[in-house]
Amino acid sequence: MAELLSDGEIDTALAGLPGWQRAGDSLVRTVESPSFPEAVELVRKVAEAAEAANHHPDIDIRWRKVTYTLSTHSAGGLTQLDLDLAAQIDSLAG
């Protein structure tokens, strides 16, 4: 099982993930797309990446704004799996 990250490790990682904020045991980013179909298309790509990694975000779709919430539920907090998925979402979101 992936190991929980320390507060220091999370702070260091967040310095390189400017769109993301920590909210307790989660990382959160809201991505605004130009339109609803484009927002859903991004969700589809994120879903593909998440399924390939077997690590899944919570996703809240509100018109063209989508909020991704990352946490490793089995570990009860943040792990490297969440940092990796955050970086993947960033690269898909552009």
Ligand X SMILES: C[C@H](O)[C@H](O)[C@H]1CNC2=NC(N)=NC(=O)C2=N1
Name the residues that contact ligand X, by CB under 6 A: 54-56, 71-74
Closest separation between CB of residue 55 and ligand X, Å? 5
Close Cβ partners of 2 (under 8 Å, ≥ 6 residues apart) = 72, 74, 75, 79, 80, 81
- Cβ closer to ligand X: 42 or 81? 81
CB nearer to ligand X: pick between 65 and 73: 73
Q: 89: which 2 tokens?
A: 């979402």
Whole-angstrom distance, CA of residue 88 vs CA of residue 52: 12
What's the min distance (Å) between Cβ of 25 and ligand X? Answer: 11
- For residues 13 and 83, the answer to whether their CB atoms sit within 8 Å is yes
Minimum CB separation from ligand X for residue 85, in Å? Answer: 8
The residue nearest ligand X at its CB is 74
